[in-house]
Amino acid sequence: MSVDLRRDAFCGKISVCNNLYQYGIPFTLTRLHTCDVESKEFETDLKDFAAVCRVVKGLRSARIGAIGARPAPFQTMRFSEKILQATGITVVPVDLSEIIGAAQRMSTDDPRVRQKVDEIYAYGKVAPSIPREKVILQAKLSLAVEDFMEENELDASAIQCWESIQLNYGCATCLTMSMMGERLMPSACEVDVTGAISMYALALASGNPPALLDWNNNFDYSRDMCVGTHCSNYPRGFMGQEVEIGNLDVLGKTLGPERCFGAVKGHVGPGDMTFFRISTDDGRGKIKAYLGEGEFTADPYGMDGGIAVCRVPRMNDLLRYITKYGFEHHVAMARGRWSAVLREAVETYLGWDLYVHEG
């Protein structure tokens, strides 16, 4: 504490923050008021702040593809483009027929198609009963969607995944969506645009492939557990283990399995997870969201498709909040614990209404 070596960072930080507050400039605090700049604590703060910056910068300029029309019964998938645009999020729509037409015009001998077929076989275990022709069909669809994403500089997408694509083209979209998600270009089911944005936020925060799940089933009589499912389009990295690629089970029963190749099946491996969901509250003219953490468990569950057995503390309270405030049945999840990053991004910089569920 000599005259030459003394520092006043303790009160200096208070003064800097006072000035930022006066000028209305948002800022992020370190966990400790002061710490060594070469310490592990400061390194963690910097990494988390970088993640916050990725989320805020990414969402303020996000471009989301809306591929096709939402299934008519799914009024839960309605949203306001105008409210999203006011925060910097652009929605780029395309008719599903344009994607189907682009896929149908591709030659089976196209080197890009052959390469994509190889990628599919390397991505997971394709069921032996699946003819190669179905894999080729899926490869062409994947390329058509990827071309649309690239041409329009899109970050994520929401796709009309049933039942037009099965009836008019002959395969499912799930595998295409899963493989894009693995490359951190999330893709949401049933043209759930705000679900896709929720997934993209998790991808930006975590660097891990997110997935979109239904809050679907209770788990026996446990009030802190439930089962999240989809058909599914879960990325391989989200599954946390090897995946099987086959036909959609539920739609396959009604549309015929020969039209429904492309489901990524398996049980999600155990581990920590973060869940996040945004929604446009059109009546109030705002974006609202909820956020929390839990875990995937290794408990078995006798369902087909993509299965994630989830444990969330005080889950009944969370479900009461979701239902009372009109959120959708879909939720985005990613591996790891990222709620602190997303909370800081949303509350400090984006200004959305946020409920943080805590155990």
Q: pLDDT tens across 319-336, in order?
A: 999 999 999 999 999 999
Ranges of residues in the chain with a pLDDT under 50 are: none
pLDDT at 71: 87
pLDDT at 111: 98
Backbone angles phi, psi at 52, to 5 degrees: -60, -45
Give long-range contacts, CB 8 A cutoff, 24+ apart: 346-351: 346/289, 346/291, 348/26, 348/27, 348/28, 348/52, 349/26, 349/52, 349/56, 350/56, 350/59, 350/60, 350/87, 350/287
Average pLDDT, the chain: 96
How far from the centroid of its chain's Cα atoms is residue 165's Cα? Answer: 22
> Which strands form 90-94's sheet, in the order they lie side by side?
90-94, 63-67, 156-159, 187-188
pLDDT at 4: 83
Summarize pLDDT for 185-225 with one digit per residue, the tens: 999 999 999 999 999 999 999 999 999 999 999 999 999 99
pLDDT at 156: 98
pLDDT at 249: 93
pTM: 0.96
Given a contact cutoff of 8 angstroms between Cβ atoms, the answer to whether 243 and 219 are in contact is no
pLDDT at 3: 83
Backbone angles phi, psi at 183, to 5 degrees: -95, 20
pLDDT at 358: 95
